[in-house]
Amino acid sequence: MDRRRPEPVSYFLDNMLSKAVNSAFHRGALSARLPLVAATSQKRFLNLHEYQSLEVFSKFGVAVPKNMVVKPGEDVGKVYDAMGTECVVKTQVLAGGRGLGYIKENNFQGGVHVAKDRAHAVELGEKMLGKTLITKQTGAEGKPVNTLLLVEKFNIVSERYFAILMDRGSGGPLLIGSAIGGTSIEDIAAKDPSAIIKMPINIMRGMSEAQAKEMAEKMKFEGPKVDEAAKCILNLYRVFVECDCTMVEINPFAELDDGRVIVCDAKVNFDDNAEFRHKDLHAQRDFTQEDAREVAAKKFDLNYIGLDGSIACMVNGAGLAMSTMDLLKLYGGEPANFLDVGGAANEESITAAFEILQGDPNVKSIFINIFGGIMKCDVIAGGVIAAIGNVGLTKPLVVRLVGTNVEQGKKLLNESGLKIEAFDDFTEAAKKAVELGK
């Protein structure tokens, strides 16, 4: 549940990237020299917590462990009693590496623990619930722990990996499996590429029981476990298709010592384009786990991705945005964001965009680069003037306007009395933004 945007499977496997590539740009890993990633990543996908995904699986008949949740203010001890079994207490944040993370407020190590008894479960709740968990994927700011998941403790006999993703190469869903599980798929692929099983599914015909059984056998399930695993695979495919998922990843897909075959941990993304069909699912979106700037940008249909640099960019069109980031990088600067205001922006959305850029504490300069086509330069200029009137101008501003209504836009800016560095030349504007952003 800590994956935001899956890459095409062929790219994912052939390059053996991290399972978290789809959140790379939220962790600041996106380079301005990687425009393809930026372009494919403007779309936001619903990402559910583990406990929410397990609930969805249960509704579709997928075998999952017994589990219950605890929210702030609720009694961990009472939930532990209701479980009626030994439990593992797991923090619920949308980031990987929870087990190796730590609580920011008290430096308590680990976000996943086996509760020795009721008292220990209560103690774990006090140390983790309502706090902030920091992992290798969250950055130093961490993620708020608003929910704990209590899961039955069980003994795993063997672990496997299983996933379903949309694959451009095969033009539909692709099953990915391995008889080896419990570790990252890129590590499995690096050690033994032949351990990766790939099976494309015709999205029009759907998955057959024979295909599910074949996949289970290739993943080295044996005897009666083949049918149990195949049933889970079929039902996971139903989840993938009927819930409009972009990714379903199970690791581990485990066989237990009591004979069960269950989904132990899950990471699921849902396509936002299908929100109108799944309002109940999308209503569960946890905005506290997302970048507040991106949440604010989404309200105005702005394509925004926060990065770690010091030069804020406001551009219209993904191509111009990427070339702007590349040019800033070329001259020694670091972009603070990817922001495409699009062709339907108005004064209100431009004001919102400027407020987001202005409010970023890492930003040292702002570069507005507009090529007026559908979006008119005077609209951008009016939005900038209005935004500065509302929030002030505390950081150097470089503006380049070219195209539709450019003279009207320049006139508005010149008569505004604002301190703006204006340029006609793209390169000179980028150099100035870099100079002011250091």
Report how many domains make up the chain: 3
* Whole-model pTM over 0.75: no
Known catalytic residue at 237: no
Catalytic residue among 7, 249, 255, 334: 249
Known catalytic residue at 249: yes
Interatomic CA distance for residues 361 and 179, integer angstroms: 47
Assess whether 262 and 395 both reside in one domain.
no
Residue 431's pLDDT is what?
A: 95
Catalytic residue among 7, 51, 80, 161: 161
Assess whether 242 and 381 both reside in one domain.
no
Residue 427's pLDDT is what?
A: 94
CATH number at residue 100: 3.30.1490.20
What is the tens place of the pLDDT at every residue in 78-104?
Answer: 999 999 999 999 999 988 888 889 999
3-state secondary structure of 368: strand
Percent of the chain beyond pLDDT 90? Answer: 50
pLDDT range class, residue 360, cuts 50, 70, 90: confident
CATH number at residue 233: 3.30.470.20
pLDDT range class, residue 188, cuts 50, 70, 90: confident
Assess whether 193 and 333 both reside in one domain.
no
What is the tens place of the pLDDT at every residue in 112-164?
Answer: 999 999 999 999 999 999 999 999 888 788 999 999 999 999 999 999 999 99
The DSSP string of 38-55 is: HHHT-S-EEE--HHHHHH
Of 154, 139, 380, give the one whose Cα is nearest residue 260.
Answer: 154
Residue 184's pLDDT is what?
A: 73
Residue 19 has pLDDT above 80, yes or no: no
Assess whether 54 and 91 both reside in one domain.
no
Count of helices and strands (H, E) across the chain: 15, 20
Interatomic CA distance for residues 113 and 120, integer angstroms: 10
Assess whether 160 and 261 both reside in one domain.
yes
137-159 as b/e: b if 16+ CB within 10 A: bbeeebbbbbbbbbbbebeeebb
Which residue among 288, 310, 332 closes a domain? 288
Interatomic CA distance for residues 87 and 118, integer angstroms: 9
If one compares 232 and 39, the residue with the highest pLDDT of the two is 232
Assess whether 102 and 141 both reside in one domain.
yes
Q: How many CA atoms lie within 13 A of 122 on its CB side?
A: 7
Interatomic CA distance for residues 255 and 271, integer angstroms: 30
Which residue among 246, 261, 288 closes a domain? 288
Residue 344's pLDDT is what?
A: 64
- Name the residue with tokens 């935004």: 387
Assess whether 122 and 171 both reside in one domain.
no
The answer to whether the beta carbons of residues 283 and 301 sit under 8 Å apart is no
Assess whether 75 and 28 both reside in one domain.
no
Assess whether 183 and 130 both reside in one domain.
no
Assess whether 253 and 162 both reside in one domain.
yes
Its domain, for residue 126, covers: 66-153
Residue 296's pLDDT is what?
A: 66
Which residue among 153, 176, 210 closes a domain? 153
Assess whether 321 and 418 both reside in one domain.
yes
- Name the residue with tokens 């409009």: 244
Assess whether 44 and 162 both reside in one domain.
yes
Interatomic CA distance for residues 226 and 210, integer angstroms: 11
> Angle at which helices 406-414 and 377-391 pack, to 10 degrees?
20
Residue 336's pLDDT is what?
A: 92
If one compares 171 and 13, the residue with the highest pLDDT of the two is 171
If one compares 192 and 92, the residue with the highest pLDDT of the two is 92
Q: Which two tokens stand for residue 420?
A: 């703006």
CATH number at residue 315: 3.40.50.261
What is the tens place of the pLDDT at every residue in 230-274?
Answer: 999 999 999 999 999 999 999 889 999 999 999 988 888 888 888
